[in-house]
Amino acid sequence: MAGRTPKPTHLKLLQGTHRKDRANPAEPKPKGDLVDPPAYFGEEERKVWDYAMTHAPRGLLKMIDSSHMEVWVNSLVAYRLAGMEVKNSGQTISAANGATVINPAMSIQNKLATLMMRAATDMGFTPSSRSRIVLTEETPLDNPFAKFKVDY
């Protein structure tokens, strides 16, 4: 299907642009907040995961989003490693035939940046995607009087 990617309903609700007449009444509702990183993650991946989870809006990422988060974390860690390789060996290197060529780590870094930014945009981790999210309601943790709220 051509055209703009539809905005997820939970983002419409946060932004205050949700309209019931245009909503899909049978839209699946993901359950469970995303919390724990995959078991295979090493120390660096866990640090990046924890940083993202600490700074992401509460309740935005669900368990079903774990693959996006995993791609973002792995891409960021690998991006940093490729950046260190470029820093250590330079932007150009000498090939086996003596010619000067672009360091392959730079191409790897560029591909990882594309993956990372695509996942980051989908999850609201970039300034432009974040600017489209408006939190319209206080969460129970922010409002000490939330327990007295009555829904009519």
The pLDDT tens digits for 35-45 are 899 999 999 99
Q: Is 26 within the bounds of a domain?
A: no
Task: Yes or no: say if 103 and 63 are a contact pair by the CB < 8 Å rule.
Answer: no
So what's the pLDDT on residue 146?
61
Decide if 140 is inside a domain: yes
Residue 14 placed within a domain: no
Please report whether residue 56 resides in a domain.
Answer: yes
Q: Residue 143: what pLDDT? A: 58
For residue 80, being part of any structural domain is answered with yes
Does 23 fall in a domain?
no
CA angle centred on 50, ends 119 and 10, rounded to 5°: 50
pLDDT at 13 (0 to 100): 77
What is the three-class DSSP state of 126?
Answer: coil
In terms of phi and psi (left: phi > 0; alpha: psi -120 to 50; beta: otherwise), the region of 34 is beta
125 belongs to a structural domain: yes
- For residue 77, what are the contacts with CB-CB under 8 A and spacing of at least 6? 44, 45, 48
Domain count, the chain: 1
Instruction: Tell me the whole-structure pTM to 2 decimals.
Output: 0.70
**Domain that residue 78 falls in:** 41-148
Q: How far is 129 from 2, CA to CA, in rounded Å?
A: 21
> Is residue 107, in this structure, part of any structural domain at all?
yes
Which residue ranges in the chain fall short of pLDDT 70?
A: 1-3, 28, 131-152
